[in-house]
Amino acid sequence: MACTTILVGKKASFDGSTIIARNDDGSFESKGAIVIERNKAPKKYKSIQTHVEIELPDFSYRYTSHPNVNVKKKGLWAACGINEYNVGMNATETISSNPLVSGADPLVESKVIKGKKVPGGIGEEDLVTLVLPYIKTAREGVIRLGELLAKYGTNERNGLAFNDENEIWWFESIGGHHFIAKKVPDDRIVIMPNQFGLDNFDFDDAYGKQEGHICSLDLKNFMIKHNLYLGLKGDFNPRLAFGSHSDQDHIYNTPRAWFLLKYFAPKQFKFEGQDADYTPLSDDIPWSFIPDHKVTIQEIKYALASYYQGTRFNPYGNEEGKGKYRSIGVPNTDICGIQQIRTNVPEGIKGLEWASYGGGAFTCCFPVYTNVSQLPDYLVKTGDKVSTNNMYWTSRLIAALTDAHFAKAVIFTERYQNAVFNKSYEIINEYDAKYRENNDEKVLIEANEKILKMVKAESEKTLGDVLYVASNSMKTRFNRGDN
């Protein structure tokens, strides 16, 4: 399992945006960034992994996508994006389950029958491509995906997010064909570390007005039939019913939730000692909470790149317990994608997509305007071989060198991350103003080129700095006064 998700409601964010963010922790798959133009999506989709074939609508909306470069190897895995209606999607977070659910509604598996591979449902490889080009609101994303899940089933357990200017919806699959979804309260943030997350749900609303809750039509009967009401008083906690609290969770998942709650709400709870409200082993860490202050993009990036800084679990520290738990920022984060949908700005500039490639702990995070027909080559022209001509591989190199020489190199990557954020906001402010004067797509294309030109320059400088540190630390280095 992999990935970590953070969702930020509009009253909890620094500028009234809705924000969805996720580390796409993969297998060191090189990622590019592309724009699929309106009505250019294929009319039939075929999964590489499961061979499932799905007829698609005749229309499609323009959207950004972050696919694997080597599609033939494992499939598209588009990861995240924003479409022309300023709807964001980030998919998926692998989530946990339990034997009661798995036995009641098994995952759809691929099978070979008489020498032919029979399709095994849809999964992370497919979801952005099947949903994002066809929706105008976050809520529509939940409905469309729920219908696809009921028809084709899924081969894995997934949680994913949709956002538009007004709402964020969190969607979790249950077994092979069921789902549950909840609107994120505007004043709250959500943390999701590979576990089934929802800890409360209103069936009356889901089967009524659906103001904040949506689920499979038969979910309640499914739960009754399979004895999934696990509350002692017959009350319903989705996490108890559909999730897990295994030993693996306590090493791999719950420590991440603990650290993120500690980071965003340090004043509200006690996190250390025998009378701590929550520890890395707690199974009841809240799915959503009100943060201590309004949350910025920089804080989201820091949180998703974190590795238990300031605790005894820091793998770069010297205390007992270092490296005990799975970090949030890991080297196999192919992309950290942050979809920000802004308000109080013109429609054409509501969508900003922030990205960090190749191991977020030591790499930078930068934005692009999404209402464009093309993206800069430094993002688009990513190959499957190591090269400094694109953002993905340059990021991987910086991260690997910094990790190997942490004590001396980390100062350069910290300065790098700050510099890119500072200059990115400077460019955003400049081009927001330009777009208000002249709402032309060319303005946004120019802005994106300027941002990536800056990012390329800062990245090359930082690569040089950490390479110098690494070179001076080589075992054959010898100084006899002759340099």
Q: How far apart are the C-alpha atoms of 201 and 207, rounded to whole Å?
A: 11
26 pLDDT higher than 70 = yes
Residue type, 335: I
- Nearest residue to 18 (alpha-carbon basis) of 262, 257, 183, 194: 183
The strand pairing partners of 80, in sequence order, are 90
What is d(CA 80, CA 265) in angstroms, rounded to the nearest whole number? 27
Q: Which of 3, 336, 364, 365 is catalytic?
A: 3
Q: Same structural domain for residues 255 and 164?
A: yes
Look at residues 483, 471, 328, 460 and name the one whose alpha carbon lies nearest to residue 404: 471
Q: Strands 366-369 and 351-357, how do they pair? A: antiparallel
Does residue 3 have an active-site annotation? yes
Residue 421 belongs to a domain: yes
What would the pLDDT profile of 72-92 be if each residue is shown by its tens digit? 888 999 999 999 999 999 999
pLDDT given at position 483: 56
**104: nearest Cα among 225, 237, 252, 255:** 225
Last residue of a domain, one of 283, 314, 341: 341
Answer with the one of 341, 363, 386 that is the final residue of a domain. Answer: 341
- Looking at the fold, whether 259 and 307 belong to one and the same domain comes out as yes
| Residue 157, domain extent | 4-341
In a domain, 358, yes or no: no
**pLDDT at res. 74:** 86
43-73 confidence digits (pLDDT tens): 999 999 888 999 999 999 999 999 999 988 8
Distances (CA, A) of 250 to 28, 269, 282: 25, 19, 8
| Distance of alpha carbon 103 from alpha carbon 254, whole angstroms | 25
Cα distance between residue 468 and residue 477, in whole Å: 12
pTM of the predicted protein model: 0.96
Same domain for 399 and 317 = no
**What's the CA gap between 483 and 478, in Å, rounded?**
8
- Provide the 10 A C-beta neighbour count for residue 62: 21
Q: How high is the pLDDT of residue 359?
A: 81
- Hey, how many other C-beta atoms are within 10 angstroms of the C-beta on 410? 17
Domains: count for the chain: 2
Same domain, yes or no: 382 and 304: no
User: What average pLDDT score do residues 334-363 get?
Assistant: 96
Rounded to a whole number of angstroms, the CA Rg of the chain reads: 22
Question: Does the residue 387 lie in any domain?
Answer: yes
Find the range with the poorest average confidence among 21-25, 140-144, 244-248, 361-365. Answer: 244-248
Enter the tokens of residue 181.
């979804």
